[in-house]
Amino acid sequence: MNHTETCSHKYCHCPAQAGSGYCCDYCANASHDQHSEGICQCGHLDCSGAMLVVAEPVAA
């Protein structure tokens, strides 16, 4: 599988498959879903969207 660009799903940071613009079918479908949740759930380990963590400050 050749990777030449970043996935076109706006919340995904995986490399895209050459010629498709997306890393997988999930992202291709999710990019057309107007109810997308603002995160990527493609499940790829190298996707920084899947590793989004919001940390709260710890009280001293």
| φ/ψ bin of 15: left (φ > 0), alpha (ψ from -120 to 50), beta (otherwise) | beta
State residue 3's pLDDT score. 56
pLDDT tens track for 13-54: 899 998 889 999 999 998 877 666 778 889 898 776 544 444
Residue 29 per-residue DSSP state: H
d(CA 14, CA 52): 14
State residue 10's pLDDT score. 86
Strand runs labelled E in 1-60:
3-6, 15-17
φ, ψ dihedrals at 13, nearest 5°? -125, 15
Q: How many CB atoms lie within 10 A of CB 41?
A: 16
State residue 2's pLDDT score. 54
